Chains A and B, each alone.
Chain A
């Protein structure tokens, strides 16, 4: 995408002019449960960017995203979504965000069409617009034949696609996905990836966590690596390779090297 998070070197005024709009900016974000889950996290995602957050289990990825979406209250720090302070104006921030978790948040007894109507109602989308978008989304995701079938009869992949359609029906500027490809078959996974790419082309920003590193390698503009609640590396794949000193290694090798180095340092 060519976005550069330039803060180092160069002309300050030029930097200010060229600095792209930020989709998400967290500063000193922290959350503690029985032990610190997220510690002093500074995360920046640019508008129109596909950002992938990686990390071993328990690294704090989901906690971070749940704080961003307003599902979890941070202990400290700030969250800004397209310039809106998500902590002081959560409703304003939610209006332009969508959240898709690994477990589809749908209602078994509603049909996909009814579900989309409900989500559109929550986001107060104009009914004609919502109906047209729902039709397009269901068609796009291959769900038109199941549009009037209750979700309890749908497979896991279909449910995940319904959840994704729900996230897109209100046309968010920032889509946050937590392991959206978990349990999906190859065809469903491809559809989801195509939909996300398409949203990026339309100027939407995407933040996604995944354990499928091939996906991250192929889709992400920038990648963040978290471990023990901290962002231990951040940037393009080449940036990560440089930080890991892993030459032309794959993302998998690079990721493992970064995590191992962090563990050794701890």
Chain B
């Protein structure tokens, strides 16, 4: 047993906290859910193995030695995976910097804080390794089953890449910290994390659209032209791909270099991590720019006051704004498709449901902020405004925000097909209003900084929200196509909403 203040002691402390955090994330604090979560994991594993079989079942047998195309494809897949790991690592490092938590306790204690931060950086790497293995394992298992034991190298390669991603994330965050200061680093690094995470997939989609004029099911870069500029087969650039294929030398080199990168990062930055984190958590909030002084007091209704408040709060929180609007990144390919096809009406069939789904999801996020993320719930509840009016005002705030955000897309669609644009606008509003209603029925008060974890408060609400936006998208797409079949998904989504309402806690309010 290691004594207090040692690395082992800190590691046990961190492991306990991490375990409880994970359990709380998975079970939302309800121990009875553990069995359901375990079953869910098993179902997910079976599904992922099936998916991996469909995708790679017949591609596991490769030429030995591998040709340039194989190496390029594997390298591309690793780059995509690594970008996701880096994104997650950036998130973790930023969280570690800005969550005040126990920093002051640790830094004012006689224990060597550097040890704790060494453990914390290692724990971040471990978390990313686990996540990477969870997602990659089904694919690797299928490849091993059908292609032989050589593919086991992919497990070690995933571990190595996760260590690299953690080291890179620490370096990037600290570089940002020094370059732009603690105040701006938080927002920028989280935006960076989201952009890196989404960027690769979006770039592939946009590349494919520009090449072929449609969104492909599987990204199909122009292999031949890519191979022209690719390095020769002995280049270290292919080492990760060769490591995945089980080549011992490449695998050993990748593991040793990755481990060295992580250890060096820990050795260099762990002793400074505490002071930097403390500086970050003590960074003063943004100073508002001096703007026009105008009277804030105007003849207004309570509903106007509520709407205005929601929009002001959202506009003034760049982190929340980035988190909510990040979903719009996924609309870029759709916008590009619209732009390329704006003279014809062919794109609308694809774009209408995408816009409606995005509006539903974005509406859910905004609704959570407006309803569950209310900073002064008691003030609103003790105001002489009926609950129904508060709900209506908040719904209007959410729907209004969504309409403003989606206006450019609607305008572009209107140039191509005005009827489809009108239908899309209507269903965007309906989807956003439905998401708000679901959030209202299942509301559980939470701080706005917990926005990213809002799904854990109610799985039913999350599920209902996803179903609602999906079926409204189907209804909108069919309505835009002018078919009465639109009634079918329309009825289904109304049933989903009815069931959600019936099982929601809102039916038995504890608060007057």
Cα separation A242 to B316 with both chains bound (whole Å): 57
A122-B302, A122-B306, A123-B383 in contact; A73/B511 too (CB < 8 A)? yes
Residue of A nearest to B317 (CB): A109
Question: Which of B305, B379, B511, B512: most chain A Cβ within 10 A?
Answer: B379
Residue of A nearest to B383 (CB): A122
List chain B residues, Cβ under 8 A from A124: 301-302, 384
Cα separation A92 to B305 with both chains bound (whole Å): 19
How far does the Cβ of A104 sit from chain B's closest Cβ, in whole Å?
A: 9
A91-B385, A114-B296 in contact; A99/B378 too (CB < 8 A)? yes
Cα separation A2 to B512 with both chains bound (whole Å): 35
- B34 at interface, CB cutoff 8 A: no
Check A117–B383 contact: CB distance below 8 A. no
Cα separation A77 to B285 with both chains bound (whole Å): 46
Q: Which of A72, A106, A116, A121 contacts B301 (CB 8 A)?
A: A121
Cα separation A153 to B302 with both chains bound (whole Å): 27
List chain B residues, Cβ under 8 A from A158: none
Q: Which of A91, A107, A114, A117 contacts B375 (CB 8 A)?
A: A107
Check B512–A113 contact: CB distance below 8 A. no
- A232 at interface, CB cutoff 8 A: no
Check B383–A106 contact: CB distance below 8 A. no
Question: Which of B287, B297, B308: most chain A Cβ within 10 A?
Answer: B297
Interface size class of B (residues with CB under 8 A): 35 or more
Check B297–A69 contact: CB distance below 8 A. no
Q: Which of A87, A97, A110, A127 contacts B299 (CB 8 A)?
A: A127
List chain A residues, Cβ under 8 A from B317: 109
How far does the Cβ of A248 sit from chain B's closest Cβ, in whole Å?
A: 40
Check B285–A106 contact: CB distance below 8 A. no
Check A119–B379 contact: CB distance below 8 A. yes
- B313 at interface, CB cutoff 8 A: yes
Cα separation A205 to B254 with both chains bound (whole Å): 74
Check B378–A105 contact: CB distance below 8 A. yes
Cα separation A97 to B378 with both chains bound (whole Å): 13
List chain A residues, Cβ under 8 A from B378: 69, 71, 99, 101, 105
Cα separation A17 to B139 with both chains bound (whole Å): 86
How far does the Cβ of A201 sit from chain B's closest Cβ, in whole Å?
A: 24
How far does the Cβ of A48 sit from chain B's closest Cβ, in whole Å?
A: 22
A118-B305, A122-B302 in contact; A113/B296 too (CB < 8 A)? yes
Check B510–A107 contact: CB distance below 8 A. no
- B172 at interface, CB cutoff 8 A: no
- B380 at interface, CB cutoff 8 A: yes
Check B309–A105 contact: CB distance below 8 A. no
Residue of B nearest to A169 (CB): B297
Main secondary structure of the interface of B (DSSP, over half): loop
Q: Which of B300, B316, B377, B509 contacts A127 (CB 8 A)?
A: B300
Residue of A nearest to B299 (CB): A127
How far does the Cβ of B313 sit from chain A's closest Cβ, in whole Å?
A: 5
A73-B512, A124-B301 in contact; A153/B384 too (CB < 8 A)? no
Residue of A nearest to B512 (CB): A73
Cα separation A95 to B383 with both chains bound (whole Å): 7
List chain B residues, Cβ under 8 A from A237: none
- A216 at interface, CB cutoff 8 A: no
- A126 at interface, CB cutoff 8 A: yes
- A211 at interface, CB cutoff 8 A: no
Question: Which of B300, B301, B302, B313: most chain A Cβ within 10 A?
Answer: B300
Check B382–A94 contact: CB distance below 8 A. yes
Cα separation A116 to B511 with both chains bound (whole Å): 25
List chain A residues, Cβ under 8 A from B287: 153
Cα separation A225 to B24 with both chains bound (whole Å): 39
Cα separation A153 to B282 with both chains bound (whole Å): 12
List chain A residues, Cβ under 8 A from B512: 70-73, 87, 90
Check A110–B312 contact: CB distance below 8 A. yes
Q: Which of B285, B305, B385, B510 contacts A150 (CB 8 A)?
A: B285
How far does the Cβ of A132 sit from chain B's closest Cβ, in whole Å?
A: 9
User: A-facing mask of B372-399, CB < 8 A → 1, else 0?
Assistant: 0001111111111110000000000000
List chain A residues, Cβ under 8 A from B509: 73
- A108 at interface, CB cutoff 8 A: yes
- B295 at interface, CB cutoff 8 A: yes
Interface size class of A (residues with CB under 8 A): 35 or more
Check A153–B285 contact: CB distance below 8 A. yes
Cα separation A224 to B372 with both chains bound (whole Å): 35
- A185 at interface, CB cutoff 8 A: no
Check B511–A117 contact: CB distance below 8 A. no
- A22 at interface, CB cutoff 8 A: no
How far does the Cβ of B212 sit from chain A's closest Cβ, in whole Å?
A: 45
How far does the Cβ of A111 sit from chain B's closest Cβ, in whole Å?
A: 8
Q: Which of B288, B295, B312, B384 contacts A123 (CB 8 A)?
A: B384
List chain A residues, Cβ under 8 A from B293: 148
User: A-facing mask of B461-481, CB < 8 A → 1, else 0?
Assistant: 000000000000000000000
Q: Which of A72, A87, A128, A131 contacts B511 (CB 8 A)?
A: A72
Check B316–A166 contact: CB distance below 8 A. no
List chain A residues, Cβ under 8 A from B306: 121-122
- B229 at interface, CB cutoff 8 A: no
Check B376–A117 contact: CB distance below 8 A. no
Cα separation A92 to B383 with both chains bound (whole Å): 10
Q: For chain B, residues 309 to 331, give those with C-beta under 8 angstroms from any C-beta of chain A.
A: 309, 312-313, 316-317
Check A110–B297 contact: CB distance below 8 A. no
List chain A residues, Cβ under 8 A from B313: 107, 109-110
Residue of A nearest to B286 (CB): A150
Check A131–B295 contact: CB distance below 8 A. yes
Check B382–A70 contact: CB distance below 8 A. yes
- B284 at interface, CB cutoff 8 A: yes
Q: For chain A, residues 11 to 64, give those with C-beta under 8 angstroms from any C-beta of chain B.
A: none
Cα separation A111 to B294 with both chains bound (whole Å): 13
- B298 at interface, CB cutoff 8 A: yes
Interchain residue pairs A-B with the least CB separation, the first 8 = A121-B305, A117-B296, A105-B376, A131-B297, A95-B384, A73-B512, A122-B383, A109-B316
Interface residues of B (CB under 8 A from A): 284-285, 287-288, 293, 295-302, 304-306, 308-309, 312-313, 316-317, 375-386, 509-512
Name 12 interchain pairs, CB-CB below 8 A, sorted by A.
Answer: A69-B382, A92-B384, A94-B384, A99-B379, A105-B375, A107-B309, A109-B316, A114-B296, A120-B297, A121-B301, A150-B285, A150-B288
Q: A87-B512, A99-B378 are in contact. List 19 more A-B contacts (CB 8 A).
A: A71-B512, A72-B510, A72-B512, A73-B510, A98-B382, A105-B378, A107-B375, A108-B285, A108-B375, A109-B313, A109-B316, A113-B296, A121-B305, A121-B306, A121-B308, A122-B385, A127-B298, A150-B288, A152-B285
